[in-house]
Amino acid sequence: MLAGIFGKRSDHPLADVKSVQELLENLPKNDAHKSLMELTELVESVTENTEFKLDHQFAVLRMIDEAAQPYSRKLAREYFTPFEINKFQENRLWLVLGNYFRQVANAYYAAFNRFCSAEKGSNTIKPQVPLLTARAVHAIICQLKYICSRYGQIDNSIWASLAQLYKHAEQLQYLDTPVRLYPGMTSSTSVKCEIGGLLVWYDSGLSALSPLYIHLTERIVAQYCSTIDIHAEISNFSRLSFDLSRPSEPTRINMGATTHPAIRFIGMPTMQAKMEHLMKALKKNIVPDDVYLGGSYEAEVVREAVQHLLTYLIAPPVRRNARRMANVTLAVVNGFDKVVGLSDAGLPFGKRDQAHWVTEEISVGGFSSALPAGSDSIGIGSLLGIQPEGVSHWGVAVVRRLLRDDSNQLRVGAEILANQVASVFLNQNGGEFGDGQPALWLYEKQGVLSGEAQLLLMKADTFSSIHSLKVQLDGKNYLLIPIGLKEKGLDFDLAKFKIIEQEADSEEMI
């Protein structure tokens, strides 16, 4: 009977459903890494064997992909973790997950192409084409997630594949057909939902996010992908466009630009309201049970991901200061302790810890540069100490964007917080100056205090909204009354204080 359904018998181990089931049952259940590697090989094998009838190929591909789900989810939870993992484990996870989703995306798209070519077995799977196409798009989303986690270049073939999948679903009128992607999922999706979610998530600014937030924003957009509209006509709600005839990454709408019939316009008129409703729950420290994030995450972490998306929906980022092309050599150190150590606090760091970067563009508020080899520890949110060549003092910047170019070289975009900093020691009432925690005093302008409000960089998790502090700087004593935490970085707190100059013998504290 099986031979009649799936074609002539073959010696290939995937030619018979029973043998496929046996292979899947014999996977090393307690070793997710090894199991996913073996499943990746099976996906590659079934894709390459074009002698299989399409219905058999698709049936086996579904079996393998569904068997891979618990393993890929487990490893993804380990990779997209709020906690630091060592570089070896990080690379190991990235390689196996990235390779699996690259292969499975290729497999589904190959099956899709065979269906479009009306190969043998196409009629049998015709009712399942909405599922085939939706899984192909979903696999592309996962593939993109791991490329973007290393800030890699996106091959234009991905956008070409996406355009073909969309056009087929539109022409055969199954864009909105509900499908359940995988067994056990409680909610349905559709081809339009998956494509709309991919385009909006990708456009939200992934080069400015760490891998954890790349994952969380994808999951949150997927949660509300039903609010995304895709139309052939532009409207007041349109935010993005995707050209089906010349596919490339989505672009922001220019209302005055010339349009043509192959352009599709993407809008999300009700997504903001959904996000704001979710934010209300997160501010109460509650992650709703119906929000599927692929793992367990603290409300504070999810809140930051939602805030990023809300900022994107309300006011897409624009550059505040014009940059100019300039080759400025910067001495650079990475990390709060090293920046403090080089800013005269007497900590044991020196020139051996410094790298030298050459800027490509620079402005009052930031710079861009190609990273030299050996800069693997740089990530989104890294605190940098920067000293331009010929300048005696140090400034500080924070990495905001990372992206690999065509030659696979990593390029960084950094925001300059201050061009000059000074090391100070933070003391509570009764403490002696010089005995407290080291911090960095950020000058608003070179050597000038910033008025009644002052920004300080402190070691991570040391800011308190209820404790005032005192510092000594340039022979003067200051009382610092906390205003609020402006940013929480990888290893620092950026806090704002009201400053009051005190007499040398004053012990007044609040």
C-alpha–C-alpha distance, residues 266 and 142, integer Å = 21
Structure tokens at 456: 């300080």
C-alpha–C-alpha distance, residues 266 and 243, integer Å = 11
Assign 158 to helix, strand or coil: helix
Structure tokens at 463: 């800011």
Dihedral sign computed on CA atoms, order 25, 29, 34, 40: positive
Structure tokens at 171: 């022409």
C-alpha–C-alpha distance, residues 279 and 303, integer Å = 7
pTM, full prediction: 0.85
What is the pLDDT at residue 323?
56
Measured between its terminal Cα atoms, the distance across the chain in Å is 84
Dihedral sign computed on CA atoms, order 35, 37, 40, 41: negative
Render each residue's pLDDT in the chain as its tens digit; 510 residues: 334 434 445 567 888 889 999 999 999 999 999 999 999 999 999 999 888 999 999 999 999 999 999 999 999 999 999 988 898 999 999 999 999 999 999 999 999 999 999 999 999 999 999 999 999 999 999 999 999 999 998 999 999 999 999 999 999 999 999 999 999 888 999 999 999 999 999 999 998 899 999 999 999 999 999 999 999 998 888 999 999 999 999 998 876 666 789 999 999 999 999 999 999 999 999 999 999 999 999 999 999 999 999 999 987 655 455 556 778 899 999 999 888 887 654 444 456 678 889 998 888 788 999 888 766 688 898 999 999 988 888 999 999 999 888 788 888 999 999 999 988 888 876 555 456 789 999 987 554 555 567 889 999 888 988 888 988 888 888 889 999 988 888 889 999 999 888 876 554 444
- Structural contact between residues 343 and 394, judged by C-beta atoms closer than 8 angstroms: yes
- Structural contact between residues 271 and 227, judged by C-beta atoms closer than 8 angstroms: yes
> What strands lie across the sheet with 229-231, from one edge to the other?
229-231, 263-267, 238-243, 251-252
C-alpha–C-alpha distance, residues 44 and 52, integer Å = 13
What is the pLDDT at residue 351?
61
Structure tokens at 75: 């490893």
C-alpha–C-alpha distance, residues 209 and 301, integer Å = 13
C-alpha–C-alpha distance, residues 378 and 384, integer Å = 9
Structure tokens at 276: 């704001």
What is the pLDDT at residue 241?
94
C-alpha–C-alpha distance, residues 397 and 414, integer Å = 6
C-alpha–C-alpha distance, residues 195 and 134, integer Å = 8
For residue 21, report the phi and psi dihedrals to the nearest 5 degrees: -60, -40
If phi > 0 it is left, if psi is from -120 to 50 it is alpha, else beta; for residue 75 that is alpha
What residues are paired with 229 via a beta bridge?
A: 267
Q: Is 198 exposed, middle or buried (0-12, 13-18, 19+ CB in 10 A)?
A: buried
Nearest to 54 by CA among 1, 124, 109, 127: 124
What is the pLDDT at residue 349?
47
How does strand 437-442 pair with strand 421-426? antiparallel
User: Per DSSP, which regions of 145-244 are E strands?
Assistant: 229-231, 238-243
What is the pLDDT at residue 316?
61
Residue type for position 291: V
Torsion of CA 17, 19, 24, 25, to 10 degrees: 120
Nearest to 152 by CA among 214, 227, 69, 199: 214
Assign 116 to helix, strand or coil: helix
Structure tokens at 220: 């949150």
What is the pLDDT at residue 443?
87
What is the pLDDT at residue 255?
66
Structure tokens at 261: 């019939």
C-alpha–C-alpha distance, residues 334 and 398, integer Å = 10
Question: Cα 188 to chain center, whole Å?
Answer: 25
How does strand 437-442 pair with strand 229-231? unpaired
The Cβ of residue 281 has, within 10 Å, a number of other Cβ atoms equal to 16
Nearest to 97 by CA among 75, 82, 77, 69: 75
Q: Where are the alpha helices (DSSP H) in 325-468?
A: 336-341
Q: Is 289 exposed, middle or buried (0-12, 13-18, 19+ CB in 10 A)?
A: exposed
Residue type for position 151: Y
Assign 364 to helix, strand or coil: coil
DSSP-derived secondary structure letter, 186: S
Question: Cα 139 to chain center, whole Å?
Answer: 17
C-alpha–C-alpha distance, residues 225 and 485, integer Å = 33
C-alpha–C-alpha distance, residues 283 and 292, integer Å = 18
